[in-house]
Structure 1
Amino acid sequence: MNTAQRLIAVEKELRQAQLALTQALEATAALQQENQDLKILVAELQSMLFKRKKSKKDDADPDSGSSAEQWLEEEPSGQQRTRPTHSYQRSVPPDSEVTAHERHTLDRCAACDGALEELDACTIYIEDIPQYTKTVTKKTIHRYACCDCGKQQTKIPIPPGQRVRLGPGVKQYVLYHTYVLNTSYRDITRSLNDCHRIKISAGEIQHIQQESAKKLLSAYNGIHQELKKQESVNIDETSWSVKGALNYLWGLCSPTTSAALFHAGSRGKGNVASLLDGFSGCATSDCYGAYRNLPEGMDHQICWVHILRNAKELAGMPYLSDEQRQSAIGFYRALLGIYGHIKQALNKPYHPQERSAARGRLLKELQGANQLLPCDTPKKLKNLKLLTQQYQHELFTCLSYKTALPENNLAERNLRHVVLKRKRSFGSQTEKGARIFAVNASVILTFWKRFPNTFFLELGKALGY
């Protein structure tokens, strides 16, 4: 082999070595990026599993030490607020609530039996509850037969079934403790027995719930129609076990009414179509895929808080390089600033032209902030920016409405009550039980919020008592 052939062979080997080196470097970079993504994921899981109590430091800018609220509006730090003196005292009940009036007077001096001269009088109020006693009403229903036509009749209907029945007060007690106080079956039976000497079984509690769901179904449908007439609604979902299998409970509410609706079903998009069928307005939700293709005639608003929460967690995540951390912090600050401008625009009186101009201006600001940079290699940071690009128009839909909200906190608070119930009861044993829970919880919780002073009266009317 001459010199030229050896040179060609060496050059070929060199090219192969360079290609192998390039492939090895690319593989190393991919492994390093995968390792970084896994470390970020582990840190995220650790924060979820071992989360500590939230402090004021958690609301601070990851890079500056100033609070998130201070970024939106700088306010001078004032002195700590003090509670007024009257806040430590119970309010005086009105005369209409006074059930008895006792007068405590003296005729003679207790020390020397001398005459007394009245100086003044002090009036106090004792708020108490009566002794826990049950009432038993024995009803004898006489049955008659007409002497002419032979028709049998009674003054009131004779109910079928067992002779000893539970009254309306016990049934409302069970419903209140089940759906408002989230009390378990065991605690309901204990409370009724200890306080009222009434024994009740789990089967009777289930029968009360099933009976009330039938009676409250028309009110449930009325709540659904009321929500669909609103300009804007908030919708969210949470897991709900049925027979130990994973199922879901959907929640629908609105910032313009106290009504709350729950719907038991799967997590498929068909539930969204069923809940929002006939609604024409703005629906606020998170970024779950079932909300992506809403029925025609309505607009979609994406929750800003979900995106801000992810951006904030990412900005404070370890295992990021300095360049990546600065990119994440800058992205979070830009999002927080845009969100603050949205809130300021919504707090002003509604003017379509001003809102439209603000929407265009903020959209351009978002488009400048969510561009991918060469250092945005962590999967979570890249996906978050791509998410804001995908929903860039849905993030500003609320500016076109008078009552729409830019966040979905209302729906999450609406579901919070049933989430606590789920942690106590672990869901329902049957699909029918899940539907019964949805109907009863919707009507009873709506009445509880809507009629705080006459709750039991209004619930009794709806139940036909």
Structure 2
Amino acid sequence: MSFEITEDLIARQTPEAQLIIRLLLARIEELEARLGKSPQNSSLPPSSQHPHAKPPAKKKRRPKRKRGGQRGHLKAERPLIPSEQCTDVVTCRPTECRRCGEALTGDDPHPLRHQVWELPELKPLVTEYRRHRLHCPCCRESTCGKLPPGVPCGQSGPQLIALVALLMAYFRQSKRRTTEFVSTVLNIPCSPSLTVKHQSIATEALRNNYDELVAALPSQPHVAGDETPTKQADQKSWLWTFVAHDFTVFALRPTRAATVLDEMLGEKFTGVMTCDRAKMYWQCGRLQWCWAHLKRDIQGLVDAPDHRLKRLGRDLMRPVKELFRLWARCRDGTLTRRGMKRLMAPVRRAVHGLLLRGHGTAARGMCRELFDHREWLWTFLDVEGVEPTNNAAERSLRHPVIWRKLSFGTQSAKGSRFVETMLSAIETCRQQGRNVFHHVTHALRARFHQQHGPSLRPGV
């Protein structure tokens, strides 16, 4: 049985009933629109949706083919290393003919080479330092031998501490699983409390690196920013990321307010901030709003039940796709920046006109905000090095989001400092093509020698 609520039916009701009916209809429309929201057509983060819940991507039908490698594909193989680099070379000569049994002698000038890779027996290196305590024959005062420079006071060396820290921060292992790995695979006695001690030592060794990167943030010409919710104990917190050209800084704070931007960037920042349309970023001055976020919001208009919104979304999607096509050509070098700006002029006019048209629809709030701040949509055309999307910040948060889902956040302020320090070092080393294990190890060695560790700033 179907029942339609018409304007004529509503008009026959009492004023109080008319008000209630209209409020209920508006609420139903709002809930129906919310049911269709997903990370593909809104600003919801991808982590809010289970990966298996995503709708299947629309793909063109292709002819069926067998599984596995296809004819003509590039072969994937491990190349042989030079024989001089092998740990051992074993010569395998046949002693007799496989047909008649006659004895065989000599060498093959071109033998078949077969190499097998294997791990050595994992046996820890333990160095014992014997500190003799001797008495003075004159005054009878006792004096104990000092440890050599660089020897830690504890029982763990820099490489072990670096590995334990990276197992937790980089490879997303819990303290108990890290303990099991160190004990069972490396054959080194370990406990969860010892991993916490290693965590604190690694934080202290890398904190100078972190403070150095934070101090360099305000002088950067462009920074990409984003944030994701997490927890510190039972308190809701936010993990912020600030991505510069050659380094990244994470900050775990109990707020999402603009005070974090004041702390990290301050008044000295005069560059361009690439971000989504969250209003706490507006104080940064010159912005570049993320077109990838905007494209998802436009897709939300396309998926809306309102026909006017659907048409507006489809009309907006055409210039947006053209924008990404021109940007891709500029990025791969097939189009100059001057040519891109020239071809982007009609795209800008089309977007501005459609935003003005959207003032008369249910999306008037979004369209008015975008039109009033339309200069923040096109900063990437005027400032070289600025991208039209916030993908750099979102990529930097991908690993921390997976870590958060596995660890449920941190339990103390010390744990939060460890997370932001290690994540900053890990992401910065990735940007610069450095070996993060080597960097953390060198920083720990410098700490044990009471020296200044290696810098994460290029050229410093």
TM range (shorter): 0.7 to 0.9
| Letter aligned with residue 93 of structure 2 | T
2:405 is the alignment partner of 1:423: yes
Of 430-439 and 209-218, more deviation after overlay is shown by: 430-439
2:31 is the alignment partner of 1:38: yes
| Letter aligned with residue 42 of structure 1 | L
Residue of structure 1 equivalent to 2:391: 409
Q: Deviations over 1:299-339 (max 9, x none)?
A: 2111111111121133124xx14344223322333333344
Give the whole-Å Cα distance in 1 for the aligned partners of 2:148 and 2:430.
32
Q: Deviations over 1:331-368 (max 9, x none)?
A: 33333334434544565599786676566554322211
2:63 is the alignment partner of 1:55: no
Give the whole-Å Cα distance in 2 for the aligned partners of 1:234 and 1:44.
25
Seen in structure 2, the aligned counterparts of structure 1 residues 82 and 227 have a Cα distance that, compared at 3 Å, is farther
| Letter aligned with residue 81 of structure 2 | P
2:267 is the alignment partner of 1:269: no
Q: Please say if residues 232 and 412 of structure 2, whose CA atoms lie closer than 8 Å, have aligned partners that are also in contact.
A: yes
Q: Please say if residues 231 and 404 of structure 1, whose CA atoms lie closer than 8 Å, have aligned partners that are also in contact.
A: no
Q: Deviations over 1:53-93 (max 9, x none)?
A: 45331x8xxxxxx99xxxxxxxxxxx999586653211333
Residue of structure 2 equivalent to 1:232: 222
Give the whole-Å Cα distance in 2 for the aligned partners of 1:347 and 1:276.
32
Q: Please say if residues 225 and 275 of structure 2, whose CA atoms lie closer than 8 Å, have aligned partners that are also in contact.
A: yes
Residue of structure 2 equivalent to 1:71: none
TM superposition score normalised by structure 1: 0.77
Query: What is the CA distance between 1:292 and its match in structure 2?
Result: 1.1
2:88 is the alignment partner of 1:100: yes
Give the whole-Å Cα distance in 2 for the aligned partners of 1:359 and 1:227.
31
Q: Please say if residues 286 and 408 of structure 1, whose CA atoms lie closer than 8 Å, have aligned partners that are also in contact.
A: yes
2:147 is the alignment partner of 1:156: yes
- Structure 2: which 5+ runs fail to align? 1-10, 41-47, 447-460
| Letter aligned with residue 30 of structure 2 | D
Q: Please say if residues 223 and 243 of structure 2, whose CA atoms lie closer than 8 Å, have aligned partners that are also in contact.
A: yes
Query: What is the CA distance between 1:23 and its match in structure 2?
Result: 10
Q: Please say if residues 289 and 377 of structure 2, whose CA atoms lie closer than 8 Å, have aligned partners that are also in contact.
A: yes
| Letter aligned with residue 334 of structure 1 | P
* Other structure's SS at 2:252 match: strand
Give the whole-Å Cα distance in 2 for the aligned partners of 1:90 and 1:46.
39
Give the whole-Å Cα distance in 2 for the aligned partners of 1:374 and 1:168.
62
| Letter aligned with residue 310 of structure 1 | D
Residue of structure 2 equivalent to 1:302: 289
* Other structure's SS at 2:229 match: strand
Q: Deviations over 1:101-157 (max 9, x none)?
A: 222223444662423465541112212211222333222122456678969463526
2:108 is the alignment partner of 1:115: no
Of 411-420 and 435-444, more deviation after overlay is shown by: 435-444
Residue of structure 2 equivalent to 1:126: 116
Q: Any residues of structure 2 matched to 1:168-179 within 5 Å, and which?
A: 168-179=158-169
* Other structure's SS at 2:374 match: coil
Seen in structure 2, the aligned counterparts of structure 1 residues 194 and 353 have a Cα distance that, compared at 3 Å, is closer
TM superposition score normalised by structure 2: 0.78
2:350 is the alignment partner of 1:365: yes
Seen in structure 2, the aligned counterparts of structure 1 residues 213 and 95 have a Cα distance that, compared at 3 Å, is farther
Give the whole-Å Cα distance in 2 for the aligned partners of 1:451 and 1:409.
19
From 72, 79, 87, the equivalent of 1:91 is 79
Of 88-97 and 189-198, more deviation after overlay is shown by: 88-97
From 347, 351, 361, the equivalent of 1:376 is 361
Give the whole-Å Cα distance in 1 for the aligned partners of 2:33 and 2:162.
50
Query: What is the CA distance between 1:269 and its match in structure 2?
Result: 0.5
Query: What is the CA distance between 1:440 and its match in structure 2?
Result: 2.1
Residue of structure 1 equivalent to 2:232: 242
Residue of structure 2 equivalent to 1:166: 156
Give the whole-Å Cα distance in 1 for the aligned partners of 2:209 and 2:71.
42
User: How many corresponding residue pairs?
Assistant: 420
Seen in structure 2, the aligned counterparts of structure 1 residues 263 and 325 have a Cα distance that, compared at 3 Å, is same
Q: Please say if residues 239 and 246 of structure 1, whose CA atoms lie closer than 8 Å, have aligned partners that are also in contact.
A: yes
Seen in structure 2, the aligned counterparts of structure 1 residues 361 and 451 have a Cα distance that, compared at 3 Å, is closer
Seen in structure 2, the aligned counterparts of structure 1 residues 421 and 460 have a Cα distance that, compared at 3 Å, is same
Q: CA RMSD in A?
A: 3.9
Seen in structure 2, the aligned counterparts of structure 1 residues 108 and 341 have a Cα distance that, compared at 3 Å, is closer
